[in-house]
A and B are shown apart, each in its own frame.
Chain A
Amino acid sequence: MLGSLNTRVMLEYLPAIWQGFLSTLMLSAAGFAGALALGIVACALSIQPLRWLRLSATAYVDAIRATPLLAQLYFLYFGLPRLGVVLPEALIGVVALSLNSGAYVAEIIRSGILAISRGQVEAAISSGMTYLQRMRLIILPQALRPTISPLIGQAIVLVKDSSLLSLISVVELTRAGQMIAIDRFMPVEGLVATALAYLLLYYLLKLVAGAWSHQNRLPGPA
């Protein structure tokens, strides 16, 4: 099968694939930035004392985790015009990606903060540290360090999830591949080229994750 791959067509469509690649990159970056912001807010809400705010953060996380991204995407795509909000498809896609990943980011950061043992805080207090010093020197460094690897993992998921935006006619990598498939009736070339581009992103992010965890190996039992 691969022997009969028409590389000439793949090269001819390279600019289109490249455009799709850049588009996927930008959609994912925007989506991830939104997810980080939403995740931090949702996490902060879920560990503060007001009960109804805590419950609303939990409701958000659970509603997102228990439903598929595609249904969330259609919810916004078919639902927003109903509320009189007319947005370009790409923006709807970014909002859906941010809302979706934000819930997972919230869970990741939350588990990082909850993993700090009470003794650390008590030791910092008895060493005479102020609240800000404790936060800056003891709690946040320990809480955030173990979240980096899972966050990169979530970024990988988000890049792959962004392919669903092709279903609401946003032109990105998957859509670019489909165009080759349809234009030339050559599904193999289009899909293989697209798959290779995604794999490139996947290995890049994996490399970053690996380098990070290698550099920051925690002492003691992992």
Chain B
Amino acid sequence: MFWLQLNRVVGYWPVLLKGLGMTVALSVLALLIGSVIGFALGILRAGPNRTLSRAVGLYVDFFRGTPFLLQVFIVFFILPQVGIELSAFTAGVVALSNVAGCFIGEIVAAGIQSVPAGQKEAAAASGFTRAQQMRLIVLPQAVRVVTPSLVGQFVLLIKDSSVVSAIGLLDLTRSGWMIVQNVPNGLLVFGIVGLGYFVICYPLIWLSRRMERRGQAPVL
């Protein structure tokens, strides 16, 4: 019985593979876009303009304080009401990039604040402009501090991407959900789905742990 079912699940490998591809595509896209958003938000958050910093804080709090599932629904069901029609894939990428940006923004802001003020003062005294100070002095040091957290954040992102299956996107979790309708063995089907996630996430978790243990990012 078990072997028969295993055989049937394995027979669905194109669906599983497609789901895995979707999960990876979503996560990588959201990581790239989310990093850009995150660095922008982080720099504003740690910046000297208090009003701007507060506004960014409020925005970030909204997305850190509500469940991701709700955010996916908001993007997918509310944006069309104001005339922005998105496909399920675009809605997934938008919601995932946005939430990734919010979390990365807080990490980056903390990293920037961890750079001693003397570094900036020295740069200013050497005649660097504000943009140069940020780009050449502060950010390179901040990035070294935050890299382990960023890797950890990427793991969270991959896992969060499973939630977009709720709007019908065929990712790895959704492909498991579809297969389990035909092969009624949840332990087997979602065991295989879990294995798929494990293979992607575990190396990243390992990397992030190793970096944390060393206390700094390795020279990549």
Contact = CB atoms under 8 A, between A and B. Distances in A.
B145 interface: no
B66 A195 contact: yes
Nearest to A199: B65
Interface string B170-182: 0011001100100
Interface string A180-222: 0100000110010011001100110000000000000000000
B62 A66 contact: no
Contact of B165 (A70, A76, A187): A70
Given A62-B202, A68-B160, A160 B190 contact: no
Nearest to A181: B77
A67 B82 CA distance: 35
Interface residues of B, number: 43
B82 A68 contact: no
Given A67-B194, A71-B162, A177 B70 contact: yes
Interface stretch (A37-45, A48-56, A139-147, A163-171): A163-171
A23 interface: no
Contacts, number: 134
A80 B180 CA distance: 13
Interface residues of A, number: 42
Nearest to B161: A68
A194 B67 CA distance: 10
Contacts of A98: none
B50 to A, nearest CB: 19
A65 interface: yes
Contact of B177 (A68, A74, A194): A74
